[in-house]
Amino acid sequence: MAAVFALSILALAGGVHAAFPDCANGPLANNTVCDATATPIERATALIDLFTLEEKLNNTGNTSPGVPRLGLPAYQWWQEGLHGVASSPGVNFAASGPFSYATSFPEPILMSAAFDDALIHQVGLTVGTEGRAFNNFNRSGLDFWTPNINAFRDPRWGRGQETPGEDTFHLQSYVYNLLTGLEGGVEPQYKQVIATCKHYAGYDIEDWEGNVRYGFDALISLQDLSEFYTPQFKTCARDAVVGSFMCSYNAVNGVPSCANSYFLQTLLREHWNWTSDYQYVTSDCDAVQNIYEPHYYAPTRQQAVADALNAGTDTDCGTYYPEYLPSAYAQGLFNISVLDRALIRQYAGLVKLGYFDPAESVSYRALTWANVSTPGAEELAYTAAVEGITLLKNDGTLPLSPSYKTLALIGPWANATTQMQGNYAGIAPYLHSPLYAAQQLGFTVNYAAGPGVDDPTTSSFPAALAAANASEVIIFAGGIDDTVEAEAMDRYTITYPGVQLDFIDQLSQMGKPLIVLQMGGGQVDDSELLSNPDVNALIWGGYPGQDGGTALMDIIVGNAAPAGRLPVTQYPAEYVYQVPMTDMALRPGPTNPGRTYKWYTGTPVVEFGYGLHYTNFSATLGAEKNCDSYDISTLVEGCLSYSYLDLCPFASFAVNVTNTGSSVTSDYVTLLFLKGEFGPAPYPNKALVAYDRLHAIAPSSSQTTTLNLTLGSLSRVDGYGNAVLYPGSYTLVLDVDSKATLTFELTGLESVIDYWPQP
């Protein structure tokens, strides 16, 4: 094996590297594009000036043929890397050996449950590093169309698993740390890869009762647009300075997103100052075509491509640009300067990636096979799964006593392998199922597939019940599988599918310890399991990635302690009958019980931020500077040196957490919420304003963290979309069970700290 490994490395060392332009001896050698002292826009402009009109038009799609006469290689702009380098048009996995796999992390919805920004940064750094390594050996491009940063508004959405959850503050923190990992920092000299924030904006419907994403018109108020649907995109553009955006399929208030100059120019490039010369907008795939049909926004195909290009969509994922821009240009529907602008933005991005620089001057281009799924990356994938897995119920059965020797592992997820990856996945180096992990721990395992995810029959019951009868402990691994719906399909119910609940009920009557693993990216109604005293423990395992089975079993036996928190609300089953998916409003109304933990007026089955531990914790909350009252005008005047008032510091709060248990060392997530009746009614129930994850708090020991609030933390959004500081009484609440509270006043006149551009 060692000899084979050595030969593989030698083969790669002398093998095919990425198809970069030859700036030393090729046709571009004396062009400004190869001059490392020039700016990216100067270099890209010099390149585009060499293109003929036909060459310009040919290179507007995601599959760019390049310009052979200039030594400019063909380039594929479409790579995926949602939770690891993923199968996509631009990623070419080898049949075996090096580059035949990449680290496969959990789906974002599970990683976000860790509430660990440092972890997310490391995941981003690893995915970006592996993407760069793939590129160095001509197995991928450098533009990765990830992350999906839409908020998980409705539990029926088929792609919610791809997102970090429902809370916009959490999404903003998550995406900032992920992007600075993926790209190698905020505006570094060279980007590691270019990431893409998608889908901008108001996209969270696939196909629900005939409302299809390609033609859906999302009706969104300015208040909701500012408060919920775009803050994470603001962070992408203004704060993380991401290299790319993707406009979405849907329209918002009558205008398709990829033809929406209000989105792509007024908000994105002007209000959020996304003005670096190497940033481009790509369409979602065939979204430009959808401007013509089924949106029927443009009367002709030529007008559709012109509308998108003029609005600021620089790249077409599809064929509409190369096919119809020539005739649109002939009709005078856009100026050549607009076409040049789009191409310059794209190729300036490649400049920023070191595409036109010598390999020795770009450290990322020195990466070798060893940077793909290293032992450190594999450990990180395991840690990400452990940290996100969330304990929803436990009567003391977990962690399992070492006296148990035989397990029944039953259910459609009990032997899951690729299923654990979810969607937008690549080829993993290994896939450790719960069954595999239980066997590795030395258990005698009686395995039965049991009822499938959507199996309506009881034909599998006898064999599965026999496995349970022969075992001391029963583990049922079930729930939904969002990849069955996922892209292009939404769900209609949020209950356990098929006959799973009936089967679990039979298992619960056997008088044996029963642990249920609720898998999948979304949440289903766990009411029956939570109320059944014979269901001893309930764990949400999501899509835990390549080492998910090991992570789950380690938590079950106590090799690891659970500390994840739900990043979404678990609604009762009847929620889906109370509000249509097409109602984009967040606040409660006559036909809407409210959305997310901020606005939901019903009683959640499990609330946002909930998660149990194997030990107990107490906590205290205190301000670093004791002050009961703050004058709004004084706060604002003290922040005038800040370019963005919402980022100006307000106050810091110390949280001291003590593990009051006697035997288990555990992580703990500090969640700080803000409550108060101020600003436009109806008021949110509460809002997350800060969090941190403390690691390995030993029994009878304490750790302290400092949570920092900004003026933006205190603001609320008015009917025009403006962020406003309002006078009133503010209460900080620590954790979902209110371990500690702190109240202060804002006095004086209300003050706008961010004016939302009006359409």
Q: What is the dihedral of CA 706, 713, 606, 589, to 10 degrees?
A: 170
Q: At what angle do helices 301-311 and 320-330 cross, to 10 degrees?
A: 100
DSSP-derived letter for residue 697 is: E
CA atoms within 13 A on the CB side of 392: 31
- 491 vs 605: CA distance, rounded Å: 19
Q: What is the spatial distance between Cα 30 and Cα 48, in angstroms, rounded to a whole number? A: 15
Which segments of 626-715 does DSSP mark as H helices, in order? 632-637, 711-714
Return the amino acid letter for 508.
Answer: S
Residues 6+ apart with CB under 8 A from 569: 155, 166, 523, 596, 597, 600, 604, 606, 607, 608
| DSSP code at position 483 | H
Pairing verdict, β 617-623 and 649-659 = antiparallel
CB 421 within 8 A of CB 86: no
How many residues are recorded in the chain?
A: 759
CA distances from 581 to 153, 584, 685 (A): 9, 7, 22
Burial class (CB in 10 A: 0-12, 13-18, 19+), 318: buried
DSSP string, 188-251: -SS-SSEEEEEEETT---SEETTEETTT-EE---HHHIIIIISHHHHIIIIIS--SEEEE-SSE
What's the farthest any 2 CA atoms get from each other in the chain? 80
284 is catalytic: yes
Q: What is the C-alpha to C-alpha distance for residues 743 and 716, in angstroms, rounded to an integer?
A: 17
Strands 75-76 and 63-64: antiparallel
3-state SS class at 429: coil
Are 110 and 551 in contact by the 8 Å Cβ rule? The answer is no
For 423, phi and psi rounded to 5 degrees?
-95, 175
Q: Which residue in this structure is represented by tokens 């901008």?
A: 200
Residue 752, classified by CB atoms within 10 Å of its CB into exposed (0-12), middle (13-18) or buried (19+), is: middle
Residue 88, CB half-sphere, CA atoms under 13 Å: how many?
Answer: 29
Classified as helix, coil or strand, 689 is strand
The one catalytic residue among 239, 284, 554, 718 = 284
Per DSSP, 107 falls in state: P
Catalytic residues: 284
